[in-house]
Amino acid sequence: MDYKELLEFNDYAMDLTIRMAHHTPLLKTIL
């Protein structure tokens, strides 16, 4: 993976984490 792909994957992972957090009260408190 090159740097650009890594950044795109990181954005995707963050987005996923945030979406998950909206459905998980425990995660929401941590974040």
CA angle 19, 16, 25 (to 5 degrees): 40
Q: What is the pLDDT of residue 27?
A: 60
Number of domains in the chain: 1
pTM: 0.53
> Which pLDDT belongs to residue 20?
82
Residue 10 Cα distances to 16, 21, 26, angstroms: 10, 16, 22
Determine the structural domain holding residue 29 and report its residue range. 1-31
User: Which of the 8 DSSP states describes residue 24?
Assistant: -
List the pLDDT tens digit at each of the 31 positions of the chain: 688 999 999 999 999 988 887 777 766 666 6
pLDDT of residue 8: 95
Taking the C-alpha atoms of residue 7 and residue 28, their distance in angstroms, rounded to an integer, is: 24
